[in-house]
Amino acid sequence: MILFESLGLLQCICIAVVLLVTYPLCRGIYNVTFHPLARFPGPRLWGASRIPFIRSFLTGNLVHDIEKLHQQYGPTIRIAPNEITFSHPDAWNDIFQLRPGHLPFEIDPVWWGTPPGQPESMASAASEMVHRRMRRVLGYGFTQRALRAQEPIIQKYASMLIDRLRDQIGVSSNSDDAVVDIVSWFNFFTFDLFGDLGFDESFECLQHSEYHPWISLIFNNIKATCFIITARFYPLIDSILVKCIPKSIKKLQSDHYQQVRDKVQRRLTREIQRPDLMDSVMKNNEKLESMSLQEIESTFAILAIAASETTATVLSGTFNHLLCHPEMLKTLVEEARSHFAKEEDMTLDALKPLAYLNAVLNEGLRVCPPVPIMLPRLVPKGGDTICGIRFPGGTSVSFQSRALFRNPEYFHKSTSFLPERYLPEARKPDSPFYNDKLDIVLPFGLGLRGCLGKDLAWAEMRLAIARLVWRFDVEFVGTPVKWEELKTFLLVEKKPVMIRIRERKDFTLLQSSEFRPQQWARSALPALKSSAPRPDPSLFRRRYALHRLPRTVLSTADVHPPSRFIGPSGCNRLPIKMWQLPIPIVVLVLSQLCTFFNSISATPLSAQQAMRFSPARLLSASVLVNLTSTAVCTNLYVSSYAGDITSLQLIKSADDTYSLTKIAANNGSSPSPTWLEKDSKTGIVYGLDEGFTSPNGSISSYKPSSSGVLTQIDRHLTLGGPVSSILYNEGKSLAVAHYGGSALSTWNILPTGGLSPGQNFLFTLTKPGANPARQEAPHPHEALVDPTDSFIVVPDLGADLIRVFSIDKATSDLTEQTPFPVAAGSGPRHGAFLESAALKACKKESYGCMATSAQANNGTFFFLISELANTVTSYKVTYGEKSLGFEQVFQSGTYGNQTTPVGAASAEAILSPDHKYLLTSSRNATILNIPNFNTTNSTTLPSDTLQSWSINPTTGKLTFEQLAPAGGAFPRQFSVNKKGDLAAVGLQQSARVVILERNVLDGTFGKFVAEIGVPGEVTSVVWDE
């Protein structure tokens, strides 16, 4: 103390800096010279410091890097100052089996922590006694007898997998095939099955063809979990991270865990006898004497992931390899189809003897092990031997299964996928595989903590693969995934495997049998979409009848159910504060200091101490990493003629990459969702349904949860064919343009977010317009409100009019004013207003500025896009007492300086948020080509276009700036985020939503940063920010 007091601040800082630099250096030198593990082979740098290991781990390359190091340095290598790893068969027995006269090797707490707030699970129990107590109880659910009793549940999900795949055929086109990402479908299958076996509650992924938000969150945070683990190598960092977690994130994590707790508790309170995993736990642990309620919850939370992800990874990897070898696939198909005449004959027992199926799966487990590294154990106190070599107590020892399984010393053509090595012929001396050491392939581990679910996993894998190839003819679409190159972030980071499935030609429905798995699955799917081809929407449009409805005749009788997924999504809306940003850097600096202080103290942290620290840290670090890794997270809503409003989540990672994920779907605006509008003040989303299968459309309101799940508040039938809506009169009412119904309707918004009908304006034509095919009747295409919130303006495609309605601010009633005629046959479709500078200034100065005509008169412009003429026109707008005047000041073809392509159909026109650019889209002219979003597919994609125009705010004239690819076919509608740097485009004919970057400075569209397929014809996409 005296020494420190006598030193100045500068000197203290200098000493700290010197220590920071010299300590790691000295430590590194010690590690490679005098450290007890210094004599073991391995790269010097890895032995000197943990950093190279961490770098390799965090970049997902650890598995590959260590395999290479084993090839270079042999089967026993040092990969960190205190860690040795093995790829020698003898190490299996020495590390994982209990050897007589030896103590067990306990798990290394750095890797097996429990998240904060969660009790110890079977997986994290370091003490062998505690672990054995729990394993005994859980083990009853995994016996052969239990598996036999569980067969109907397993069959049910296999049937559902097949049925739901069958449902995909013909959905996006009228063909007899479907292209699916089989990786997702295998995941849906394994997660749903575990949900049922574990909690008696499926995750319903198969039913909805998408991940449950609980699962999405896990996948989205897996990289964060890797950071947590690395933070645990520096205990002080870990404890600092704990203190930095914002409350909201703690809540997000605890909500996530709470969902599993709720599932467990619901299952435990259900007085039912069913042969699931929980039933065994209850029967053999009646008084919770061997496993507490908290331990059950914690264990099942981990199992849900461990059981499902592993099995799905083997299924996906194996299938990927099979598809690369059509001759192997053919053999498998022949085996399955020749053995079974009917799907229901494929019982678990009947599948067991299929030699080729077993060989394929065994080879899949060898080449694509889902647990490529067996996580470290600790050499017991006093030291022990492994592979005949003595190691000091506390040494961390891991095992490289994948490196061993691919070692050419033990396997002929070790890195190739060759199921033949597992066939009986391979055991003959003349076989090239005769010397293969198949018994050292132990993908399920072994010993005290070996996999309990091995038989269940085999049952699932046999059934899924056999049923798939029995029912469907399958082939690759594009190029296969290079499985051996996939990164591993604790879990193998799988890439989509796109396959084309077609029902086998000779398939006939098997009606006679009593046991019909397909029927089970169907009964569990109440709200599935029809697999029948969808009718052409334009046909419906032409058939629309004009329904003259009195003002209040439409009712709420047809209100639809709420969103399919209720619960938190994978979207972490992280409240990052500026002060939190430098934390990771500070923490890293501190880490060096704390390592130093830890090491100079006489008693460095023991394993037990580390264990005490780690639970609290687990999630905390994850949370902090989340802060940086998923810091930008936005929801979007997408309407599609497939019947759903889909909630998407756009996540921007720390490395500036984006991902789009589906988080929920709501069919409350079915059958033909066509337009979405979000009230930025109340958050309520309004959805229109064009109602192709009935004379009426409908309007609904939805309340979004913070995670983007929509719950329907209200629904009313409307006049036919609603296509666009706009909030007006300070958000008190909504005006709706009806293309098919030739009308404009208004709706009053109730305090509850519900809707009550207002007025209906019905329009007629005395004779068809200049383009009779499209102008046989009035077709109001959009409803817009002027910048003073005093007029509704409606471009009418059928009547070549800009219709104008004045707003009564007291009642929200509209009065029709004299419309403005535009060029005959031009087909005005959409538009956008530019407010005058004076009005803008007024709004900026005072919230709720009482806009006057005088403020608006000078400098308000209206931009109109006309679908049939393919023009963009600017009008100077003049304000009269009860009317609007339009004076054309500019016109151009939609393609600016380029000739308009034949067949083009201009669509959307919106202003950029800074009001400096007009952004338009055009359809039916796929004049550009873009690289395929599936990077393994070299075929380019045809694309329609977006256009960007800069606006002269004084004259209202436009300058054409850019023709950009829209990301696919038919960009019917698009929207831009608040910041203006991202555009979301709904591609009607590509069944896709893409996100493009936008340069806010020059107004141009940039590269595509994310995309996602959305079933059916996408009609609109809006941001929820």
Query: Per-residue x/- mask for ligand HEM, residues 112 to 141, rule CB under 6 A?
Result: ----------xx-----------x------
* Least distance (Å) between residue 66 CB and ligand HEM: 16
Residue 500 amino acid letter: R
Residue in the structure block whose two tokens are 């647990």: 371
Residue in the structure block whose two tokens are 């000779």: 506
* Least distance (Å) between residue 377 CB and ligand HEM: 8
* Least distance (Å) between residue 279 CB and ligand HEM: 14
Among 301, 451, 794, 797, binds ligand HEM (CB under 6 A): 451
Question: Is residue 202 close enough to count as binding ligand HEM by CB under 6 A?
Answer: no
By beta-carbon proximity to ligand HEM, the closer residue of 352 and 390 is 352
Where would I find the H helices in 34-107? Answer: 44-48, 51-58, 62-73, 89-91
Among 457, 734, 797, 976, binds ligand HEM (CB under 6 A): 457
Helix (H, G, I), strand (E, B) or coil at 440: helix
Q: How many other CB atoms are there within 10 angstroms of residue 550's CB atom? A: 8
Between residue 142 and residue 201, which ones bind ligand HEM under the rule CB under 6 A? 194
The piece of 448-456, 678-686, 938-946, 1000-1008 that touches ligand HEM (CB under 6 A) is: 448-456
* Least distance (Å) between residue 443 CB and ligand HEM: 4
Q: Mutual orientation of helices 128-139 and 293-324 as an angle, nearest 10°?
A: 70
Question: Is residue 95 close enough to count as binding ligand HEM by CB under 6 A?
Answer: no
Question: Is residue 306 close enough to count as binding ligand HEM by CB under 6 A?
Answer: yes
Between residue 936 and residue 995, which ones bind ligand HEM under the rule CB under 6 A? none
By beta-carbon proximity to ligand HEM, the closer residue of 461 and 524 is 461
By beta-carbon proximity to ligand HEM, the closer residue of 306 and 397 is 306
840 burial (CB, 10 Å; 0-12 / 13-18 / 19+) is: middle
Query: Per-residue x/- mask for ligand HEM, residues 776 to 805, rule CB under 6 A?
Result: ------------------------------
Instruction: Count how many Cα atoms sit within 13 Å of the Cα of residue 763 in the half-sphere of its side chain.
Output: 32
The piece of 82-90, 367-375, 553-561, 763-771 that touches ligand HEM (CB under 6 A) is: 367-375
Cα–Cα distances in angstroms (integers) from residue 925 to residues 119, 868, 903, in the given order: 60, 13, 6
Q: How many residues does the chain have?
A: 1025
Among 160, 452, 497, 734, binds ligand HEM (CB under 6 A): 452
Between residue 311 and residue 340, which ones bind ligand HEM under the rule CB under 6 A? 311, 314
By beta-carbon proximity to ligand HEM, the closer residue of 301 and 865 is 301
Q: Is 347 left (phi over 0), alpha (psi -120 to 50) or beta?
A: beta
* Least distance (Å) between residue 273 CB and ligand HEM: 20
Question: Is residue 896 close enough to count as binding ligand HEM by CB under 6 A?
Answer: no
The piece of 179-187, 307-315, 511-519, 760-768 that touches ligand HEM (CB under 6 A) is: 307-315
* Least distance (Å) between residue 448 CB and ligand HEM: 7
Instruction: Find the residue with minimal CB distance to ligand HEM.
Output: 453
Among 150, 220, 310, 646, binds ligand HEM (CB under 6 A): 310
By beta-carbon proximity to ligand HEM, the closer residue of 384 and 644 is 384
By beta-carbon proximity to ligand HEM, the closer residue of 198 and 753 is 198
Question: Is residue 444 close enough to count as binding ligand HEM by CB under 6 A?
Answer: yes
Among 456, 737, 755, 984, binds ligand HEM (CB under 6 A): 456
Tokens at 271, concatenated: 């007085």
Residue numbers in the known binding site for heme are: 451
Query: Per-residue x/- mask for ligand HEM, residues 253 to 292, rule CB under 6 A?
Result: ----------------------------------------
Question: Is residue 203 close enough to count as binding ligand HEM by CB under 6 A?
Answer: no
3-state secondary structure 602-632: CCCCCHHHHHHHHHHHHHHHHHHHHHHHCCE
By beta-carbon proximity to ligand HEM, the closer residue of 399 and 410 is 399
Closest by Cα among 422, 512, 507 to 469: 507
Among 60, 119, 275, 445, binds ligand HEM (CB under 6 A): 445
Q: What is the dihedral of CA 483, 485, 489, 494, to 10 degrees?
A: -30
By beta-carbon proximity to ligand HEM, the closer residue of 87 and 1020 is 87
Q: Is 753 left (phi over 0), alpha (psi -120 to 50) or beta?
A: left
* 494 Cβ contact list (under 8 Å, min separation 6): 183, 312, 313, 316, 317, 481, 486
* Least distance (Å) between residue 188 CB and ligand HEM: 15
Cα–Cα distances in angstroms (integers) from residue 937 to residues 173, 176, 477, 746, 883, in the given order: 20, 22, 8, 48, 55
Closest by Cα among 633, 540, 632, 662 to 1021: 662
Question: Is residue 375 close enough to count as binding ligand HEM by CB under 6 A?
Answer: yes
Question: Is residue 453 close enough to count as binding ligand HEM by CB under 6 A?
Answer: yes
Helix (H, G, I), strand (E, B) or coil at 872: strand
Between residue 551 and residue 590, which ones bind ligand HEM under the rule CB under 6 A? none
* Least distance (Å) between residue 914 CB and ligand HEM: 53
CA 962, 963, 966, 967 dihedral sign is negative
Residue numbers in the known binding site are: 451
* Least distance (Å) between residue 428 CB and ligand HEM: 29
Closest by Cα among 166, 162, 170 to 188: 162
Among 235, 317, 443, 753, binds ligand HEM (CB under 6 A): 443
Among 366, 449, 774, 779, binds ligand HEM (CB under 6 A): 449
Helix (H, G, I), strand (E, B) or coil at 488: strand
Among 307, 710, 865, 905, binds ligand HEM (CB under 6 A): 307
Q: How many other CB atoms are there within 10 angstroms of residue 273's CB atom? A: 8
Tokens at 828, concatenated: 């005005």
By beta-carbon proximity to ligand HEM, the closer residue of 249 and 456 is 456
Question: Is residue 919 close enough to count as binding ligand HEM by CB under 6 A?
Answer: no
* Least distance (Å) between residue 967 CB and ligand HEM: 37
By beta-carbon proximity to ligand HEM, the closer residue of 177 and 276 is 276
The rounded distance, in Å, linking the Cα atoms of 944 and 963 is 10
Contact 865, 830 (CB under 8 A): yes
Tokens at 422, concatenated: 């597992």
H helix or E strand, kind and range, residue 300: helix 293-324
The rounded distance, in Å, linking the Cα atoms of 286 and 980 is 59
Question: Is residue 223 close enough to count as binding ligand HEM by CB under 6 A?
Answer: no
H helix or E strand, kind and range, residue 1010: strand 1005-1013
Question: Is residue 361 close enough to count as binding ligand HEM by CB under 6 A?
Answer: no
Q: How many other CB atoms are there within 10 angstroms of residue 963's CB atom? A: 18
* 435 Cβ contact list (under 8 Å, min separation 6): 412
The piece of 216-224, 306-314, 417-425, 786-794 that touches ligand HEM (CB under 6 A) is: 306-314
By beta-carbon proximity to ligand HEM, the closer residue of 155 and 746 is 155
Among 32, 180, 205, 374, binds ligand HEM (CB under 6 A): 374
Contact 214, 194 (CB under 8 A): no
Residues in contact with ligand HEM, counted by CB under 6 A, come to a total of 24
By beta-carbon proximity to ligand HEM, the closer residue of 70 and 402 is 402
Contact 789, 776 (CB under 8 A): no
By beta-carbon proximity to ligand HEM, the closer residue of 122 and 481 is 122
Question: Is residue 109 close enough to count as binding ligand HEM by CB under 6 A?
Answer: no
Where would I find the H helices in 810-874? Answer: 837-845, 853-857
The rounded distance, in Å, linking the Cα atoms of 886 and 346 is 72
The rounded distance, in Å, linking the Cα atoms of 685 and 707 is 14
Starting at the edge strand found earlier in the chain, the sheet holding 733-738 runs: 722-728, 733-738, 743-749, 755-762
Question: Which residues would be at the binding site for ligand HEM (CB under 6 A)?
Answer: 122-123, 135, 194, 303, 306-307, 310-311, 314, 370-371, 374-375, 443-445, 449-453, 456-457
